[in-house]
Chain A
Amino acid sequence: MRWLWVIPAAPLAGAVLNGVILRRRIGHRAVSAVATGSVLVSLLAGLGVIGSYLAGGGAGRGVVWTQTLWDWLPAGGLWTTHLGKRLVDFKLAFQLDGLSAVMVFIVTFVGFWIHVYSVGYMHGETGYQRYFTYLNLFMGAMLLLVLGNNFLVLFVGWEGVGLCSYLLIGFYYDQPFPPQAGRKAFIVNRIGDFAFLVGLFALVSRFGSLDFSTVFSAIAADPAAVHQPYALGLSFAGFVALCLFLGAVGKSAQIPLYVWLPDAMAGPTPVSALIHAATMVTAGVYMVARSHVLYDQAPEILAVVAVIGTATALLAATIGLAQTDIKKVLAYSTVSQLGYMFLAAGCGAYGAAIFHLGTHAFFKALLFLGSGSVIHAMGGEQDMRKMGGLRARLPVTYWTFLIATLAISGIPPLAGFFSKDQILSSAFPAHKVLWGVGLATAGLTALYMFRAVYLTFHGTFRGTEEQAAHVHESPAVMTVPLVVLAIGAVAAGWVGLPKLGGWDWNLIERWLGPGYRHVAKGAAHAAEHAGVGLEAGLMGLSVAVALAGVAIAWRVYGGTRGVEGGAAWAHRFPRLHRMLENKYWVDEAYDATVVRGTWGLARLCRGFDGRVIDGLGVHGARNLTLLASYVSGFFDKYVVDGLVNLIGVVLQALSRLFRRLQGGLVSQYALVMVVGVFMLAFFCVLLLTQ
């Protein structure tokens, strides 16, 4: 309990050590020791705290452990809010409950093994220390996100992981595409974050607090108040829920803001595994689950969440069918699986969403690390059309990748089966169409994943001879994480066994506690009454659909058919294939509307700046000033200076005159004197004779 703060602090300290204090002063070995060690500290602290939480019987009863570090933003003042006058004061505080315990475990465990894997994967790369600094910073921010006990700490983590995502996508900054992809991710996320902030403002103005406990207990205590109309024709709960969900749409890559995630694959592969598959992108799901009290009061927004999730799941899965870059397939798969999680959350099955989040973290991280291992072996090649037949050369990678593929396809008893089944069985009573689309997507998932497996590992090798000679299994530092995560991909589902009759071994929902368990009023009741038969029937159906997907994949790509099999099918449906290959031209559409629109606006502003502000304003002022200075200069030169010169000229003329009197010639002086005397005498005589 007292060590709660260590969990996020350790990776942050690691980032500071590697990025600031020990910059370029230590070798690669020490860098990886600092980075991996700090995450290990975090993992052990997390395990210790979670262990004592479980031992204390905290789980399942909604017990919340909080640890307040310090007053962070004492905004002060009495603030009249819905809850009466209160002091607005944001604290840096952490909380541990069932939800954050699950998240902390996933993040630190997967994060630790991905750090270990990175030591091998990034071996010899330039920017080794920078990479681990960012990775540690990401871990710290992600743990802040899941441990914060108020929305503000969550938001700091939210932005922190966004920053690290940006930095790591653009890690290879000397190539043209990665920085561009990083910018795209950052800007698209910013759109969602704007709405997220608006939601937080609405919460502060209403409750004067962002603490989860304060906000949610206020909502739960007086649901009628949050149902009153607020803005955009929505109730207060609906408005805030929509704003927060828009933030989640950006972060978790849902329609219409999913476009950044496939491009984010430009980063190093372990980053794709950790940030763009296992942890960061699931932050939106975590946030919705964390705010479930709010979402329960906004059924219309829950419906939006479910519909967007389902649509995203289907759309991304279909795009994944036609991608040739192995990481792109996995990226669209991630988008699709995130859609699944939102489908669950939208049906009120927050527990199922978090469950799928957890299992997905294992098998998707494993898939990405496996693809990293393949790319490593192929010397940077990512195109599946140039792979094939790698099964024998990369046995560990193959088997772990296969396990993860089976898990994501929903084959029992692997992890994905249980979580996906739980989502589908909560969607079934909620809405039949959502369930149907979800089921179809499950089949598509099996199809595109086995397509990837067949193209990559089966058939004959299609690369160059140079690559064929180079292909080798990765070192132990990379394969051990694969094996560990494979065990997770097998076993992670066993914490959430389905309810069949009187059985209730669903540990995950019990840990998460009340509120995550019985969901979406009517739906939960329907599920309870549906009985064993329906449960088992749904389960069997989803397994059958998954097997059908596998079978189709084998029929098209299996054996030695490989790329030719796919080409034959593409030839049979040319328009469909072209549409999927080009991802429904969504990027192009965004480019034509949003991007070009923004550019146009920018050009317009620049024109206004150049013509009106610069032209009329700045240049006009300049010309006026010039004119005024000319006039004033003229006045100075000819009037003021003229007067001054006039005095000089007059004095000069006078002095020329008087100089004559002082020629220095004595005889001249004498002459003047004589003339003077005569004149004086003349006047005297004149006066005397009168």
Chain B
Amino acid sequence: MVITTTHFLILSLTLFVIGLAGVVLRRNLITVLMSIELMMNAVNLNFIAFSWQFSDLAGQIFAIFTITVAAGEAAVGLGLLVALYRLRGSVNLDAATELEG
């Protein structure tokens, strides 16, 4: 069996949908953050798959760049999480409704 770009894309899509479902359906902020990481990695996988197909390094460089930013994002996200926990005594997203209109 020859592994083609299409397989990569299917895997990437699957990961992305799992992440999306996690973001939308889960209430725990830690799970949500992990799901966002999952979605970002699905995107990275896309970049790399197309970089591989077209022999272009730009995609891989972009993926590394995304991982770097994701690290920062995780740091900020966990910081927010700690702050929320201190404020509410819980990390449940339903408790944080200050943006209610």
Contacts and interface: CB of A to CB of B under 8 A. Distances in A.
Interface of A: 658-659, 661-667, 669-671, 674
Given A674-B20, A674-B24, A667 B32 contact: yes
B25 interface: yes
B100 A667 contact: no
Contact of A665 (B23, B26, B93): B93
Contacts of A669: 99
Contacts of A661: 101
Nearest to B99: A664
Given A674-B20, A674-B24, A666 B100 contact: no
Nearest to A671: B24
B96 interface: yes
A117 to B, nearest CB: 106
Contacts of A665: 93-94, 97
- Provide the main secondary structure of the chain A interface: helix
Contact of A662 (B27, B32, B99): B99
A414 B99 CA distance: 127
Nearest to B97: A664
Contact of B24 (A659, A662, A664, A667): A667
B97 A667 contact: no
A666 B32 CA distance: 11
Given A671-B24, A674-B20, A674-B24, A666 B101 contact: no
A670 B93 CA distance: 12
Contacts of B101: 658-659, 661-664
A670 B96 CA distance: 14
Band of interface residues on B: 10 to 19
Q: 7 nearest interchain CB pairs? A: A662-B101, A664-B100, A664-B97, A664-B99, A671-B24, A670-B24, A670-B23
B28 to A, nearest CB: 11
Contacts of A674: 20, 24
A674 B23 CA distance: 10
Contacts of B23: 667, 670
11 contacts: A659-B101, A662-B99, A663-B101, A664-B98, A666-B99, A667-B23, A667-B93, A670-B23, A670-B24, A671-B24, A674-B24
Interface of B: 20, 23-27, 32, 93-94, 96-101
Given A669-B99, A670-B24, 13 more contacts: A658-B101, A662-B100, A662-B101, A663-B100, A664-B101, A666-B96, A667-B23, A667-B24, A667-B26, A667-B93, A670-B23, A671-B24, A674-B24
A661 B24 CA distance: 15
Nearest to A673: B24
Nearest to A660: B101
B7 to A, nearest CB: 22
Nearest to B23: A670
A658 B97 CA distance: 16
A22 B27 CA distance: 104
A661 B93 CA distance: 17
A666 B98 contact: no
Nearest to A669: B99
Contacts of A659: 101
Contacts of B97: 663-665
B45 to A, nearest CB: 19
Contacts of B100: 662-664
**Most chain A CB within a 10 A radius of its CB, from B20, B23, B24, B27:** B24
A677 to B, nearest CB: 10
B14 to A, nearest CB: 16
**Most chain B CB within a 10 A radius of its CB, from A662, A663, A667:** A667
A330 to B, nearest CB: 108
B44 to A, nearest CB: 19
A669 B96 CA distance: 13
A90 to B, nearest CB: 92
Nearest to A662: B101
A660 to B, nearest CB: 9
A666 B94 CA distance: 8
Given A661-B101, A662-B100, A662-B101, A667 B27 contact: yes
